């Protein structure tokens, strides 16, 4: 019994080492395929341009003096570098642990339950605005103090947009998930305003407030309608020399939500929060679902997206919130969506990354990524085969857990692959679960299953030759079917390393450490050693 | 056990002294740079230094086991009142101590410098501790790779094999970062390697 | 408690598919001096290494003080002294360092005795082991083993490399050790005269099996070499079992018989030899008879 336990421990230890050391090079090979596929994707399939954007009132957009209409464009970064764990763990630290300078920092102290920040009052010295010496402030839901007073209350799990803390307004808006209420902190006036607690049946679960974006914080390029700037020195129309049209915006704007703050919900909905009353004031929009290789959901949650970004817009015509642009990048990083929402949260426009095939047909970027870019078929097949080197059981686990992992985690996954073809097929909405499972088994992990079955036959043969017990052989067969190449390598590392000798009785190879031949059951006999028949013993 | 550890340290005295000198140099250079105005958060050279250190740890593991095989140290020690278990545990403890000898002073220095010159937010202290734990685990894992492969016959095969496995394993920290998930994987990897080394060492003919 | 210090049960060992030991059974009682003999490659060193846990058996078990050799505790090892055939000392250590290491790892250490041995063997403490001659290494090995005052001493060709004087000194040391109650020695050697001097029991390995396992006296009584001269051609077959060796030339037949008994003598007498002379055999003679694979040329006595 003890030896069986030892053997099992030996096998599991070896198996774990093998699976780790095999997964890492496979990861890099898959990544190389992914990166080259991304590089080869035409640039038009990585950006979206909308002109006009749809948020500017028609009377301004269609002004006869307008030479360039309003436009918004976004680019998709197909590189995986920002999602590597080592970079991600520095970038994606909990919100508002920020340090910009000795007068400009903040963090949430879990033990105290207070937000601690540096506050340097602005001073006007000889017409110049400078910062006075910074003081440390402790902010609780019930007040602000320069000491860690008990009467400040305690935050439980606050979410804050610290972009505001360092802005001129010095107002910090946040939400506490434990207390389930919004709060606004005015550092200058040293006042904390708490909003009403959300009711128990309120479905809202805010996860971000203020500047809503994923890890990358990509740049939106938005330009308002432009009018021509007349050059007073220009003398008539010269046919010989035409200078480029100089233009200026016809309207002023800010990238803010005006009297509101944007709040991103766990469900993917974007809400407006009234800054004065700290209650929800309506919807701003939602995260649109990019078009993926297989048809997937219409709307997505932040968890399902590799990246997202929301750019609110306030036009200075009425200084009211005008609407927002929302960009989302699919889980696999192969497609992007850009949606425009008006001030009431209604979608005005929505576009997706796409490209043109050689025949002029429009192809979604996710399809072009895998099949229609230069060298895409070869790289896709290579990636497909590499994914099939994963143990079948892990492929099935990837199928089952397709929606469970955050999108970012898929880019640094070693064992379960949320971005694999099998996981993508699990997320499709146009098939039943049984159909999806069947298609996954037959089409997507078929090479993996074939490899596992072939390796199982090899292991079974070798195990019989080496004389493993029936039970051990059975477990190895099951293990090899489930774990494929990993199990085979583990078997080779842990199989008894004993030189077999020929059995006198059956002529097959037998193990010398067994009393009887494991093939024919005959007793041990060593013909090459012919001991004399006599013995002189007590 | 202490005698065996002392023996291992005396045999590996070059490595131990090298570790002490390396630590002293790192601390001296870092402290002088910080006093000259470099930000204490400037850890740009840490990945390179950590990479080199993990390779050295692997080599240390290979060296310990190869020396035993070639000089038949264990086969002599086993004629004394010593068991294989004790020999291996003493060896592992020695490697463990050498790694700590390098990392602990550097980490203490980092925390002191952070306290003195660094920003007041605790994020960076947590970062440094995370980096220390990750570096320690990765170094120990590479050391265990060296121990495991160094026991195989064949000097070149064991050295090249160990270095290859180390180079394959090290990027795990790039892929997974210094997350708890990565630390669990590395810890289990260390445990698996030690089990394999243990079983090999216990059953090999000496 | 079992009085056998060493127990070997059905020991089988294969090296790369080649059988060296084939079901060896051996018991060494407490206080016994057991001489294990065999030709080169017979498996003597293999048995000793398996006993000490340096090698694992292919099949079978070995026990020291009722403990499985694979799991000997440090306390038990403290009772055992071992001198290896190759004198496997740590070559790059200085003698002083090696001694200090052995001393600190040993549960018992007789410093006085060790100093006496050092003086007797004139071993330099400041020299590296690799710089010592083979004989000096053998002496050092011996001194380190003996200084621990072991209850069980296992010696694998301990006098290999020793000059005659040193060999005699070792034997005297071994005899000194024997004076102490309950000490057991298992040793193998090719110098059979030394074995004959001190051994109580003899074991001889042939073709992977222990063909002899009895006291020395018993061995000499039971293995007889007879020279038979017949009036006519010597018979081809004496119809005797357990003939170890047989050489025939014309009327002369020299036969070595195992387990000699009056019954076997009676069988011989039925062939009516003219003369039947017993040729006295030393242990070396018996060993040669038991282990040779082809008959030695007949030497005619003048």
A20 at interface of B, judged by CB pairs closer than 8 A: yes
A463 versus A430: which is more confidently predicted? Answer: A463
Residue A278's SS3 state is coil
Mean pLDDT of the region B180-184 = 90
Backbone angles phi and psi of A244, in degrees to 5: -60, 145
- pLDDT band at residue C295 under the 50/70/90 scheme: very low
Residue from A32, A5, A53 nearest A224 by CA: A53
- Are A70 and A145 part of one and the same domain? no
pTM of the model: 0.88
A100 versus C3: which is more confidently predicted? Answer: C3
- Are A163 and A222 part of one and the same domain? no
Task: Quote the percentage of chain C above a pLDDT of 70.
Answer: 94
Name chain A contacts of C222, Cβ cutoff 8 Å.
536
Burial label, A505 (beta-carbon count in 10 A; 0-12, 13-18, 19+): middle
CB B47 within 8 A of CB B174: no
Residue-wise pLDDT tens digits, A482-517: 999 999 999 999 998 888 888 878 888 888 888 788
CATH number for the domain whose boundaries are C4-215: 3.40.50.300
Residue-wise pLDDT tens digits, A171-221: 788 899 988 999 998 888 888 998 899 888 888 899 999 888 887 766 678
Residue with tokens 């180390």: B166
Burial label, A199 (beta-carbon count in 10 A; 0-12, 13-18, 19+): exposed
Strand-strand pairing, C67-68 and C59-64: antiparallel
**Is 50 exceeded by the pLDDT of residue C299?**
no
User: For residues B103 and B80, what is the distance between their CA atoms, to the nearest angstrom?
Assistant: 35
- Are A223 and A351 part of one and the same domain? yes
The per-residue pLDDT for A235 is 53
- Are A460 and A346 part of one and the same domain? no
Within 10 Å of residue A265's Cβ, how many Cβ atoms? 20
Residue-wise pLDDT tens digits, A320-371: 889 999 999 998 888 999 999 999 999 999 999 988 887 888 888 888 899 8
Residue C291's SS3 state is helix
Name chain A contacts of B165, Cβ cutoff 8 Å.
21
**Is 80 exceeded by the pLDDT of residue C284?**
yes
**Is 70 exceeded by the pLDDT of residue A164?**
no
Q: How many domains does chain A have?
A: 4
User: How does the average pLDDT of chain C come out, rounded?
Assistant: 86
Backbone angles phi and psi of C208, in degrees to 5: 80, 0
A233 versus C78: which is more confidently predicted? Answer: C78
Contacts of A142 (CB under 8 A, 6+ apart): A151, A152, A153, A192, A194
- Are A351 and A441 part of one and the same domain? no
Cβ of B71 within 8 Å of Cβ of C106? The answer is: no
In angstroms, the Cα distances linking C130 to A534, C90, C99 are 45, 8, 15
User: How does the average pLDDT of chain B come out, rounded?
Assistant: 88
Residue with tokens 């080492």: A17
User: How does the average pLDDT of chain A come out, rounded?
Assistant: 84
CB C154 within 8 A of CB C174: no
Three-state DSSP string of A426-438:
HCCCCCCHHHHHH
Name chain A contacts of B182, Cβ cutoff 8 Å.
85
Q: How many CA atoms lie within 13 A of C27 on its CB side?
A: 8
Q: DSSP letter string over chain B?
A: -HHHHHHHHHHTHHHHHHHHHHHHHHHHHHHHHHHTT--TT--TTHHHHHHHHHHHHHHHHHHHHHHHHHHTHHHHHTTSS--HHHHHHHHHHHHHHHHHHHHHHHHHHHHHHHHHHS-SSTHHHHHHHHHHHHHHHHHHHHHHHHHHHHTSS-HHHHHHHHHHHHHHHTTHHHHHTT-HHHHHHHHHHHHHHHHHHHHHHHHS--
Do the domain assignments include residue A238?
A: no
Residue-wise pLDDT tens digits, A62-87: 888 888 888 899 988 777 666 778 77
**Is 90 exceeded by the pLDDT of residue A475?**
yes
Among the partner-chain residues A501, A528, A534, the one whose CB lies closest to the CB of C211 is: A534
Which tokens hold the place of B150?
Answer: 């160094």
- Are A221 and A279 part of one and the same domain? yes
Cβ of C56 within 8 Å of Cβ of B7? The answer is: no
User: For residues A406 and A425, what is the distance between their CA atoms, to the nearest angstrom?
Assistant: 17
Which tokens hold the place of A310?
Answer: 């929301």
The per-residue pLDDT for A377 is 92
Residue-wise pLDDT tens digits, A117-127: 877 777 777 77
Do the domain assignments include residue A236?
A: no
Both ends of chain C: CA-CA distance in Å? 56
User: For residues A69 and A60, what is the distance between their CA atoms, to the nearest angstrom?
Assistant: 9
In angstroms, the Cα distances linking A244 to A240, A375, C253, C262 are 13, 40, 128, 133
Question: Where along chain C do its domains lie?
Answer: 4-215, 224-280
Listed range (A17-26, A510-519, B51-60, C66-75) with the worst mean pLDDT = A510-519
Q: DSSP letter string over A503-536?
A: -TTT-SEE-TTSSS-TTT-PPP--TT----S--E
- pLDDT band at residue B41 under the 50/70/90 scheme: low
Within 10 Å of residue C13's Cβ, how many Cβ atoms? 24
Name chain C contacts of A532, Cβ cutoff 8 Å.
206-207, 211, 244, 290
Cβ of A524 within 8 Å of Cβ of C12? The answer is: yes
- Are A480 and A526 part of one and the same domain? no
- Are A349 and A429 part of one and the same domain? no
Do the domain assignments include residue A453?
A: yes
B-chain residue closest to C83, CA distance: B79
Residue count of chain A: 538
Name chain A contacts of B166, Cβ cutoff 8 Å.
none
User: For residues C224 and C281, what is the distance between their CA atoms, to the nearest angstrom?
Assistant: 8
Looking at the DSSP assignment, which residues form a beta bridge with residue A47? A75
Looking at the DSSP assignment, which residues form a beta bridge with residue C205? C38, C210
Q: How many CA atoms lie within 13 A of A45 on its CB side?
A: 26
Within 10 Å of residue C178's Cβ, how many Cβ atoms? 16
**Is 90 exceeded by the pLDDT of residue A537?**
no
The per-residue pLDDT for A162 is 56
What single DSSP character describes residue A84? S
Residue from A115, A130, A128, A129 nearest A165 by CA: A115
Expressed as residue numbers, the domain containing A137 is 93-197
Within 10 Å of residue A93's Cβ, how many Cβ atoms? 14
Name chain A contacts of C241, Cβ cutoff 8 Å.
533-534
Which tokens hold the place of A133?
Answer: 């010496």
- Give me the helix-helix angle, B123-150 and B180-203, nearest 10°: 20
CB B168 within 8 A of CB B123: no
CB A139 within 8 A of CB A152: yes
Within 10 Å of residue A259's Cβ, how many Cβ atoms? 15
The per-residue pLDDT for A80 is 66
Peptide bond just before A52 cis, omega within 30 deg: yes
- pLDDT band at residue B153 under the 50/70/90 scheme: low
Chain B adjacent subunits, 3+ CB pairs under 8 A:
A, C
The per-residue pLDDT for A218 is 65
The per-residue pLDDT for B40 is 67
Residue-wise pLDDT tens digits, A361-370: 888 888 889 9
CB A342 within 8 A of CB A311: no
Residue-wise pLDDT tens digits, B62-117: 999 999 988 889 989 998 999 999 999 999 999 999 999 999 999 999 888 888 88
Listed range (A30-34, A78-82, A398-402, C44-48) with the worst mean pLDDT = A78-82
Residue-wise pLDDT tens digits, A268-300: 999 999 988 999 999 999 999 998 877 666 678
Mean pLDDT of the region C216-245 = 87
User: For residues A302 and A298, what is the distance between their CA atoms, to the nearest angstrom?
Assistant: 13
A500-504 contacts at long range (C-beta below 8 A, 24 or more positions apart): A500/A465, A500/A466, A500/C17, A501/C14, A501/C17, A501/C19
Burial track C29-64 (b if 16+ CB lie within 10 A, e otherwise): ebbbbbbbbbbeebbbbbbbbbbbbbbebbbbebbb
- pLDDT band at residue A169 under the 50/70/90 scheme: low
Question: Where along chain B do its domains lie?
Answer: 2-203
Do the domain assignments include residue A86?
A: no
User: For residues B121 and B109, what is the distance between their CA atoms, to the nearest angstrom?
Assistant: 18
How far apart are the CA of C59 and the nearest CA of chain A, in angstroms? Answer: 5
User: For residues C255 and C140, what is the distance between their CA atoms, to the nearest angstrom?
Assistant: 45
Residue count of chain B: 206
The per-residue pLDDT for C297 is 42
Among the partner-chain residues C53, C55, C77, the one whose CB lies closest to the CB of B80 is: C77
The per-residue pLDDT for C123 is 85
How far apart are the CA of C145 and the nearest CA of chain B, in angstroms? Answer: 9
Residue A194's SS3 state is strand
Residue-wise pLDDT tens digits, C98-151: 999 999 998 888 888 888 888 888 888 888 888 888 888 888 888 898 888 888
User: Please, which residues 204-263 of chain C have a Cβ atom closer than 8 Å to chain A?
Assistant: 206-215, 218-219, 222-223, 241-244, 258-259
C159 versus A98: which is more confidently predicted? Answer: C159
Backbone angles phi and psi of B145, in degrees to 5: -60, -45
- Are A459 and A365 part of one and the same domain? no
């Amino acid at each position: 019994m003890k030896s069986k336990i030892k053997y099992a421990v030996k096998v599991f230890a070896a198996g774990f080492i093998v699976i780790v050391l095999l997964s890492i090079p496979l990861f890099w090979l898959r990544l190389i395929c992914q990166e080259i596929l991304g590089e080869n994707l035409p640039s038009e399939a990585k950006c979206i341009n909308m002109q006009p954007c749809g948020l500017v009132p028609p009377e301004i957009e269609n002004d006869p003096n307008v030479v360039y209409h309003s436009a918004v464009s976004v680019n998709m970064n197909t590189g995986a570098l920002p999602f590597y764990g080592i970079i991600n763990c520095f970038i994606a630290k909990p919100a508002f642990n920020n340090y910009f300078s000795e007068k400009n920092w903040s963090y949430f102290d879990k033990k105290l339950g207070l937000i601690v920040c540096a506050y340097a009052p602005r001073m006007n010295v000889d017409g110049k605005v400078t910062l006075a010496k910074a003081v440390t402030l402790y902010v609780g839901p019930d007040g602000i103090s320069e000491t860690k007073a008990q009467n400040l209350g305690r935050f439980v799990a606050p979410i804050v947009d610290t972009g505001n803390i360092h802005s001129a307004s010095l107002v910090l808006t946040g939400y506490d998930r434990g207390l389930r209420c919004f709060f606004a902190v005015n550092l200058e006036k040293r006042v904390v305003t708490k909003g009403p607690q959300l009711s128990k049946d309120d479905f809202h679960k805010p996860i971000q407030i203020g500047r809503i974006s994923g890890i990358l914080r990509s740049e939106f390029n938005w330009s308002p309608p432009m009018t021509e700037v007349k050059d007073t020195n220009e003398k008539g129309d010269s046919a010989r020399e035409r200078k480029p049209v100089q233009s200026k915006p016809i309207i002023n704007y800010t990238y803010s939500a005006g009297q509101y703050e944007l709040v991103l919900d766990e469900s993917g909905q974007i809400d407006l929060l009234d800054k004065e009353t700290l209650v929800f004031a309506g919807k701003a929009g939602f995260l649109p679902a990019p078009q993926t290789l297989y048809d997937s959901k219409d709307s997505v949650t932040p968890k399902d997206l590799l990246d997202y970004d929301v750019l609110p817009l306030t036009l200075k015509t009425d200084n009211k919130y005008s609407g927002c642009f929302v960009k989302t990048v699919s889980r696999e990083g192969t497609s992007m969506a850009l949606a425009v929402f008006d001030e009431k949260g209604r979608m005005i426009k929505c576009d997706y990354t796409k490209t043109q095939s050689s025949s002029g047909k429009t192809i979604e970027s996710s399809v072009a990524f895998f099949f229609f870019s230069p060298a895409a078929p070869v790289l896709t097949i290579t990636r497909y085969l590499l994914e099939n080197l994963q143990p079948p059981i892990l492929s099935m686990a990837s199928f089952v857990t397709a929606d469970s992992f955050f999108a970012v985690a898929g880019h640094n996954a070693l064992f379960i692959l949320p971005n694999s073809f099998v996981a993508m097929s699990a997320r499709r909405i146009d098939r039943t679960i049984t159909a999806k499972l069947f298609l996954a088994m037959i089409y997507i992990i078929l090479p993996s299953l074939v490899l596992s079955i072939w390796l199982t036959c090899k292991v079974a043969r070798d195990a019989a030759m080496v004389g493993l017990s029936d039970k051990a052989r059975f477990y190895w067969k099951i293990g090899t079917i489930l774990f494929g190449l990993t199990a085979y390598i583990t078997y080779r590392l842990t199989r008894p390393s004993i030189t077999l000798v020929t059995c006198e009785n059956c002529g097959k190879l037998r193990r010398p450490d067994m009393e009887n031949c494991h093939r024919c059951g005959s007793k041990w006999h060593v013909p090459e050693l012919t001991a004399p028949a006599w013995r002189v013993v007590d | 056990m202490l005698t065996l550890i002392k023996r291992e340290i005396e045999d590996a005295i070059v490595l131990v002294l090298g570790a002490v000198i390396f630590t002293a140099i790192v601390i001296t250079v870092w402290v002088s740079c910080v006093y000259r105005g470099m930000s204490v958060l400037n850890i740009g050279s840490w990945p390179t230094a950590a990479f080199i250190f993990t390779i050295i740890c692997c080599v240390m593991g290979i060296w310990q086991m190869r020396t035993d095989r070639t000089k038949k140290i264990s086969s002599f020690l086993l004629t004394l009142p010593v068991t294989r278990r004790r020999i291996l545990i003493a060896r592992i403890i020695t490697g463990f101590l050498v790694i700590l000898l390098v990392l602990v002073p550097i980490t203490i220095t980092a925390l002191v410098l952070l306290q003195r010159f660094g920003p007041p937010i605790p994020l960076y202290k947590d970062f440094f501790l995370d980096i220390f734990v990750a570096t320690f685990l990765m170094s120990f894992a590479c050391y265990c790779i060296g121990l495991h492969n160094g026991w195989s016959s064949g000097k070149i095969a064991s050295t090249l094999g160990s270095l290859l496995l180390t180079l394959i394993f090290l990027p795990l920290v790039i892929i997974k970062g210094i997350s708890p998930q990565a630390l669990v994987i590395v810890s289990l990897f260390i445990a698996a390697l030690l089990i394999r080394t243990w079983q090999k060492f216990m059953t090999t003919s000496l | 408690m079992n009085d056998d210090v060493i127990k070997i049960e059905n020991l089988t060992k294969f090296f790369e598919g080649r059988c060296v030991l084939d079901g060896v059974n051996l018991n060494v009682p407490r206080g016994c001096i057991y001489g294990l003999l065999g030709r080169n490659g017979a498996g003597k060193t293999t048995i000793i290494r398996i006993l000490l846990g340096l090698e694992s058996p292919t099949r079978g078990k070995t026990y020291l003080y009722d403990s499985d050799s694979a799991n000997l505790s440090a306390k038990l090892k403290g009772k055992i002294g071992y001198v290896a055939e190759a004198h496997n000392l740590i070559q790059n250590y200085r003698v002083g360092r090696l001694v200090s290491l052995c001393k600190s790892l040993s549960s018992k250490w007789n410093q006085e005795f060790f100093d006496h041995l050092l003086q007797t063997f004139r071993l330099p403490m400041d020299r590296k082991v690799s710089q010592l001659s083979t004989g000096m290494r053998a002496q050092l090995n011996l001194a380190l083993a003996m200084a621990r005052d072991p209850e069980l001493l296992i010696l694998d060709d301990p006098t290999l490399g020793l000059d005659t004087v040193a060999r005699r000194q070792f034997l005297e040391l071994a005899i000194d050790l024997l004076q102490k109650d309950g000490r057991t020695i298992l040793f193998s050697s090719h110098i059979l005269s030394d074995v004959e001097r001190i051994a109580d029991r003899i074991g001889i390995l042939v073709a992977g099996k222990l063909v002899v396992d009895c006291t020395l006296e018993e061995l000499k009584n039971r293995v007889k070499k007879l020279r038979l001269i017949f009036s006519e051609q010597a018979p081809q077959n004496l119809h005797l079992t357990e003939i170890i060796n047989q050489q025939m030339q014309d009327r002369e037949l020299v036969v070595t018989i195992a387990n000699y008994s009056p019954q076997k003598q009676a069988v011989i007498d039925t062939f009516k030899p003219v003369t039947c002379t017993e040729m006295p055999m030393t242990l070396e003679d018996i060993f040669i008879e038991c282990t040779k694979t082809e008959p030695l040329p007949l030497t005619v006595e003048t």
